Amino acid sequence: MDLTIRPRRLRNGETLRKMVRETRMDPSSLIYPIFVREGQGIAEEIPTMPGQYRYSVDRMGEKLNSLKEAGVSSVILFGIPDYKDEVGSGAWAEDGIVQKALGRLKKDFPDMYAITDVCMCEYTSHGHCGVLCGHEVDNDKTLELLSKTALSHVQAGADMVAPSDMMDGRVSAIRKTLDQAGFTMTPIMSYAVKYASGFYGPFRDAAGSAPAFGDRKGYQMDYHNSREAIKEALLDVEEGADLVMVKPAMTYLDLVAKVKEAVKVPVAAYSVSGEYAMIKAGAALGYIEEDKMICETAVSAYRAGCDLYLTYYAEEIARFMKEGRIG
């Protein structure tokens, strides 16, 4: 057959396939979400997320060491306090769980880049992401508390803050607070495009952050909408976000691609707890090959355009990169 153009030519052999690969990945782009809790000597497995643990501050170094050896240099911290109240005061307490974890992390792992999730849901007795007015979250009153929380994290050693609450105007409020306190060089990674998703169930189990009533559809986005995602991302960049995030990842890769085209800042994708749990469950039942699914879902996020990838499989992905299986 007389064929001038043969796409298969560039698929002939592993060396050539890697040479012409369109999507390239590096362990430096991986961010591992780690749960830290009060107590001593604790590393308790999360039932809905096999292989993931809640660590007390004195034992989180076990995981940080393992991540470091694999080549993962960034984590995002989620705090699990013992005490909760109506306004989530533990979120900005000087001796709060995240603040204590940051002190230990920066002492023992000074080269590990520490990002903190800034939200109220783990700290409020009602489980919502802000101050309540009746059964609704009061957007503007919540901004002050989010700003106090972000500032306390940075003062405790956070390298970056990541507000995940989805309150209008929170990036601007946090940026103003940090700048006035002299932290003009601390970047903000906003959860700009965060959908009200069924994929968050295992996380709420892990963090004990399920709402006591209602749901979060009043502030998280409707998954039917895509133009709204661009509006949210552009607004956050205008307010001072240095990076923006799309969450979840797996079923929102179209939004990763659209946001990537719309903004001129790095774009992160968060492969959330439900995505992790699905792969784990399928592998446990023998229905899928876990390693192959880890690689394929990770590559799909980068192929869609993400620059940073938050994933509970960060350690495994970094090792696969080193082995040349992906990247």
Q: Answer whether 282's CB lies under 8 Å from 288's CB.
A: yes
What pLDDT sits at residue 216? 67
Contact 270, 277 (CB under 8 A): no
Distance, CA of 309 to CA of 26 (rounded, Å)? 10
Give the long-range contacts of residues 276-283, CB within 8 A, separation 24 or more: 276/49, 276/52, 276/202, 276/311, 276/312, 276/313, 277/48, 277/49, 277/201, 277/202, 279/313, 280/49, 280/50, 280/51
Task: Tokens for 248, please give them.
Answer: 């979840």
Residue 281 CB: number of other CB atoms within 10 A? Answer: 13
**Would you give the DSSP letter of residue 222?**
P
Total count of residues recorded for the chain: 327
Q: What pLDDT, on a 0 to 100 scale, did the predictor assign at position 263? A: 96
As a whole number of angstroms, the distance between CA 79 and CA 102 comes to 11
* 106 catalytic residue (yes or no): no
Distance of CA 152 to the CA centre of its chain: 19
Is 217 a residue of the active site? no
User: Which one of 100, 194, 258, 260 is the catalytic residue?
Assistant: 194
State the Cα–Cα distance between residues 90 and 143, nearest whole angstrom: 16
CB 280 within 8 A of CB 299: no
Among residues 63, 100, 247, 280, the one annotated as catalytic is 247
Q: How far apart are CA 294 and CA 316, in angstroms?
A: 8
Q: How many secondary structure helices (H) and strands (E) does the chain include?
A: 11, 12
Which pTM value belongs to this model? 0.94
Number of Cβ atoms within 10 Å of the Cβ of 285:
8
Amino acid 284: pLDDT: 97
Instruction: Write out the chain's pLDDT in tens, 327 residues.
Output: 888 678 898 899 888 887 778 888 999 999 999 999 999 999 999 999 999 999 999 999 999 999 999 999 999 999 999 989 888 889 999 999 999 999 999 999 999 999 999 998 889 988 778 888 787 889 999 999 999 999 999 999 999 999 999 999 999 999 999 999 999 999 999 999 999 999 998 887 776 666 666 566 788 999 999 999 999 999 999 999 999 999 999 999 999 999 999 999 999 999 999 999 999 999 999 999 999 999 999 999 999 999 999 999 999 999 999 998 887
